[in-house]
Amino acid sequence: MNAVIFHSFWTVALLILFIGIVIWAFSSRRKRGFDEAARLPLEEEEFVPARPSGEKHHG
């Protein structure tokens, strides 16, 4: 197998992989999960400050 055939095969394989990823990313089955992930930075959470590493918990 010479280099031209190898590079042609590799290019086609990567193109198919790219098209597969695009189809996966834009599929309707993934929409709900991506929408939830997009809203994560906007959701409020209760902030609990961390204790300094030298401070011991007494309680």
Q: If you average pLDDT over residues 32-46, what whole number do you get?
A: 85
Q: What is the pLDDT of residue 55?
A: 62
Q: If you average pLDDT over residues 42-56, what whole number do you get?
A: 72
Which pTM value belongs to this model? 0.55
CB 30 within 8 A of CB 24: yes
CA–CA distance, 55 with 35 (Å, rounded to integer): 40
At residue 12, what are phi and psi to the nearest 5 degrees?
-65, -40
Please, which residues have CB within 8 angstroms of residue 51's CB and are 6 or more apart in sequence?
57
pLDDT in tens, 6-29: 999 999 999 999 999 999 988 888
Secondary structure letter of residue 49 according to DSSP:
P
